[in-house]
Amino acid sequence: MLWLPIVFVTLTMLVVGTAFALMFCSVAFAGWNGGAARPSAGWELPTMSGKRLRFWAANLAHRVVARHANHPRSAETPLAIATELEAGANAVLEQAARRMHSNIAKTCPNRQPRQIGVTAPEVFAITAELERSCPKSELHQIRELATANAHRSRFIMPEEFPQAGIACPLRTQDGHCLTFTNRPLACRSLCSECPCTGNGSCHSSDGDCDSATDVSDQLHEGMIDGLSEGLRQVGLDGESYELNDALATALATTQAASRWSRGETVFQNCVKA
């Protein structure tokens, strides 16, 4: 009967080893949800630019959606998608910043009001952070401002946002973002030290600034391409909506994230961006 303890010890070691292996794989390939978000494997920035960089970013974003949206969905699904995409975007921008001797913007890069587009996962990540960090009175003010801004934005063209003075409801008076960690992909920039207008065009004579702006734009547009297409393929709303309209709707709609994850139309009355 001496073999029984040996078998028991062997089986115990196998179970423990398997558990550690599964834990490692879940971190490496499904994103990191504890503490600071970390991207899954594959976010190593290649040496490319322009349309090739955009296509690469779209492919990665598409894979993120497939990884999370093909499983049983819940209110956490859009948050998991947004968390991994945002962590990946940060990782890529950090690599690009080192190559260009630039920096990632530490505060809101939008010097002037402009129309900002967000997808459902992005806006649900924003609302989750607001509900977690803001007192009810401040959350009410943000919702009221977003609602008023959304109403005004329906009567103007996107390029008229600066003249209309439609300020972002997430931007504080000192230029900081209330949800900087979960800010929209459109607000992630390398071009933080030059006199940019914040509308996608840079008026600096520095060629490095132009290159940084191009990298930021291609990464953003590619990720939105892949995110939107991936969501549509699994039957979810992948449209981009005007930030104020989407934010006001998400804050006002009961169980908005759960309903969206079930394929319901939550933002059907919002202005598309």
Distance CA 126, CA 184 (A): 8
What H or E segment, with its residue span, contains residue 241? Answer: strand 241-242
Measured CA to CA in angstroms, residue 65 lies from 83, 133, 197, 235, 254 at distances of 11, 27, 32, 12, 24
SS3 118: strand
Position 231: which residue type? L
Q: What is the pLDDT of residue 197?
A: 40
SS3 215: helix
| Residue 134 C-beta-side C-alpha neighbours within 13 Å | 20
Q: What is the pLDDT of residue 210?
A: 55
The tokens 């492919």 sit on which residue? 59
* Cβ proximity of 231 and 69 under 8 Å: yes
Q: What is the pLDDT of residue 208?
A: 53
Q: What is the pLDDT of residue 19?
A: 43
Q: What is the pLDDT of residue 111?
A: 73
Distance CA 123, CA 164 (A): 23
Q: What is the pLDDT of residue 191?
A: 55
Give pLDDT < 50 ranges for the chain.
1-36, 192-206
Q: What is the pLDDT of residue 194?
A: 45
Token pair of 42, please? 């594959």
Distance CA 220, CA 251 (A): 25
For residue 117, what are the β-bridge partners? 242
Q: What is the pTM of this model?
A: 0.79
Q: What confidence tens digit (pLDDT) does each residue in 176-222 have?
A: 899 999 999 999 877 544 444 444 444 444 455 557 778 888 989 99
**Beta carbons within 10 angstroms of residue 234's beta carbon:** 14
Distance CA 257, CA 121 (A): 8
The torsion angles phi and psi of 78, rounded to 5 degrees, stand at -65, -30
**Beta carbons within 10 angstroms of residue 27's beta carbon:** 15
Position 254: which residue type? T
Q: Give the residue extent of every domain in the chain.
A: 50-261
Distance CA 109, CA 25 (A): 36
For residue 242, what are the β-bridge partners? 117
Q: What is the pLDDT of residue 107?
A: 74
Measured CA to CA in angstroms, residue 155 lies from 117, 170, 222, 243 at distances of 17, 21, 29, 15
Closest to 58 (Cα-Cα) out of 238, 235, 207, 227 = 227
